[in-house]
Structure 1
Amino acid sequence: MNVSIKELEEKILHRREIDDAMIEMLKKDERKGVQRLLKRYETMKQKELALEQMHLQMTEYESNLRKEGFVHIAGLDEVGRGPLAGPVVAAAVILPSDFKLLGLTDSKKLSKEKRDMFFDVITTEAVAYSIQMVHAAEIDKINIYESTKLAMSRAVKEMNCQPDHLLLDAMKLDLPIGQTSIIKGDQKSLTIAASSVLAKVTRDRYMDEVAREFPGYGFSNHVGYGTKEHLDAISKLGVTREHRKSFKPIAKVV
């Protein structure tokens, strides 16, 4: 074969112009660079197959519900229960039945770059979505568990397309809509995973804004969690309106 390895790389890895006949021909090419290229292609294909399999597994709940006649299936998730500062954020999202975003899973398992990219895809392609926050002052009034439920309920109510079934991550809401609660749902349901990305990205961006308003706390680094950096800053600078005064470490210094 009189094709350079660089040309083959462009053809195989980038343009995907390859079939079984070409693979057999490349296997006979004695150039080490070609054999390394083949290994890279095979590794890439294996990863893609694994992602396709994960996608199938993560759409089982949605597929079964659609077989039962449900159309507008909303996934819900929240982020920010544990931090000492900042809001708890909940997202609800309804995805198209043919939605596919390979690699989408629990937002905590994704890099920031992946989350940001997935956020744009989800918000562009979603049938409907809603993202709601409950802030520190309200959390202090009604506690974090009730605040989480409140944020999630608001997210459902504010959707411009009302769902006919909810998929939740180990939660149950006081809403007159059928619900399926799934333990580790953000790793088992594509729709819940999508909502976890929306909630996580929104909260992180909010905490970046808080960091600019209240410099010295490191909010962009710890996003409100009780790290040493954060606790030292509280001791030195005091508390802000974003701090949850009902949480023990904050209550001690208020």
Structure 2
Amino acid sequence: MESLRATRERQGRRILERLRRHIPEPSRLLDFGAGRGWFLESCRQAGVRELAGADISELSVGLMREAGIPAVRLPLPEGDRWPLPLESLPFRPRILTLLDVVEHFPGPHLADMVQHLVTQLAPELEWVVLKVPVASGLLYRTSRMMAALGPTQLLEQLYQCGTFPPHESYFTRRSMAALLPRVGLEWVDAFGDLDFEPGSLAERAHALRRVPRPLVTLAGNSLGMMATALGMQDSCIFIARRAS
């Protein structure tokens, strides 16, 4: 959990730095599927004004409220629609963040669900940030190769098999370029991220826990450098503007 937290906080700083290229003073930000609120905490420390989180988990909502961050509990989706309790929000969001969220949406309903979220927040909504896992990532490709040879544990972990909700989709830049216009968004910016800390891969990769720690650390650092050099990071962050 601490390794995951370190990754999410680092990513939060990167996302805000990149977002400020397009919105110098971001405000009225709603983090949908906020989890433990790590991204919102990064936003608060960076001086972002008016923040709120939303999640289906009562535990997540409680943790955010304990940290002094407004939070609302989401109802479960209804088919291809996910109603937002807008009356419970302290503001009408200008920015919507969907970080490690849409890959959990059922594939046949994914586009309709994202479009429904965007439509509910119009006309005040201006920007949407999506962070998704990508199939072009080095760790994903390595896991696929290992699964072809027999061991499937790493690939199963990437898809979060046995958890709720699992990963339903992996993306590419091409598939996101096709998805965004369908949901009323215009692609503005995109950048990759490793989605793990090279020095603490052992804490994140359950399948490698029996491997000696120095070897896993060496492998993590090597994977990190290779993925960065080749542009094969395992996640991608997309910044999009709501289409007129």
Shared fold, TM over 0.5? no
More helix by share: 1
TM-score, normalisation: structure 1: 0.28
Q: Which one scores higher on RCO, CA 8 angstroms, separation ≥ 6?
A: 1
Give the TM-score, by structure 2 length: 0.29
Q: Which has the higher strand share?
A: 2
